[in-house]
């Protein structure tokens, strides 16, 4: 073994890899147990001596979720809400983030940024009652619009600060050069700045989508009709008054995390870049 290879696999490096492996196992164990439970037959789930690997794997719980429940309706509602919130958040946050980046010295801009940060410190549970009253006065209860408006409101502040960090990395000289080359000022942002800020846009879109997809409290409070529930509150239907259908619940949960997992795997490079840039440049 050469000295270079030995330095690469020295004790500090091996210790770091061991720590990462332990943390990874700690984080993935609940997910793996969820999938394992979804694949177990009901008697094996209720046994007094549970096992990690199913002895007789079955897809009966997945069939029950997909064929005998409103799971697909919940997925449709969640997709509608999450995609609408993502689009609205991108539009508002892009314009606001650009304004914060390019006109930060104007009066009131810094105060607005501080207000956004302070607004993120208010726990959502404290806003349930006032938002419920507001939605009731607007006639939006039992409507997906109540969730869209609420989720967008919570997504915009942090998304704006994230995009501001990306716009700060785009030199103003690039915009000035584009205008000298004949690009209209109204098109500079769309043709020059936004293509350079694609990682930030993808990070913002993923953040808004995941937040809307996983939210439970407001979805459970604002929506009472079963055919209008979103996915996360809809999973509560598998919890009965006296018993819990653990197999169906775990199967539904496994299916619910699949779209988000695939999105993370595909966009992880943008997410890492976006978090790093927002943390250092925001």
pLDDT on residue 282: 42
pLDDT at 279: 43
Angle ∠(221,245,33) on CA atoms, nearest 5 = 100
DSSP 229: -
| pLDDT value at residue 77 | 93
What is the pLDDT, as a whole number, of residue 281?
45
Give the chain's residues under pLDDT 70: 1-9, 104, 241, 269-282
Q: What angle separates helix 71-102 from helix 109-120, to the nearest 10 degrees?
A: 150
Q: Which pLDDT value is given to residue 241?
A: 66
CATH class of 71-245+255-281: mainly alpha
Tokens for 141, please give them: 């209860």
Instruction: Quote the pTM value.
Output: 0.81
Alpha helix ranges (H) inside the chain: 3-8, 11-39, 42-45, 60-67, 71-102, 109-120, 128-137, 144-169, 172-180, 185-188, 194-196, 198-214, 217-222, 231-234, 246-281
What local confidence, expressed as pLDDT, does residue 278 receive? 45
The helix/strand/coil state of 142 is: coil
The per-residue pLDDT for 224 is 87
Instruction: Please give the span between the terminal C-alpha atoms of the chain, in angstroms, as a whole number.
Output: 45
């Amino acid at each position: 073994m050469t000295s270079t290879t030995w330095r690469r696999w020295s004790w500090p490096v091996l210790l770091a890899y061991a720590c990462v492996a332990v943390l990874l196992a700690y984080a993935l164990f609940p997910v793996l147990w969820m999938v394992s439970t979804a694949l177990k037959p009901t008697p094996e789930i209720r046994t007094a001596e549970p096992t990690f690997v199913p002895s007789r794997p079955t897809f009966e719980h997945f069939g029950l979720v997909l064929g005998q429940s409103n799971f697909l309706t919940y997925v449709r509602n969640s997709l509608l809400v999450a995609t609408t919130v993502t689009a609205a958040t991108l539009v508002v946050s892009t314009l606001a983030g650009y304004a914060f980046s390019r006109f930060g010295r104007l009066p009131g801009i810094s105060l607005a940024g501080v207000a956004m940060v302070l607004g993120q410190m208010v726990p959502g549970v404290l806003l349930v009652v006032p938002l419920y009253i507001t939605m009731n006065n607007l006639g939006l209860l039992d409507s997906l619009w109540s969730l869209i408006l609420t989720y967008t409101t919570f997504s915009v502040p942090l998304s704006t600060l994230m995009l501001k960090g990306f716009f700060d990395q785009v030199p103003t000289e690039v915009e000035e050069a584009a205008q000298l080359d004949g690009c209209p000022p109204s098109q500079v942002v769309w043709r020059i700045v936004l293509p350079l800020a694609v990682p930030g846009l993808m990070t913002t879109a993923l953040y808004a989508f995941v937040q809307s997809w996983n939210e439970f409290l407001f979805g459970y409070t604002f929506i009472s009709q079963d055919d209008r529930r979103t996915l996360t509150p809809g999973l509560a239907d598998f919890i009965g008054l006296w018993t819990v259908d653990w197999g169906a619940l775990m199967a539904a949960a496994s299916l619910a995390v699949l779209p988000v997992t695939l999105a993370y795997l595909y966009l992880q490079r943008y997410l890492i870049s976006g978090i790093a840039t927002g943390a250092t440049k925001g």
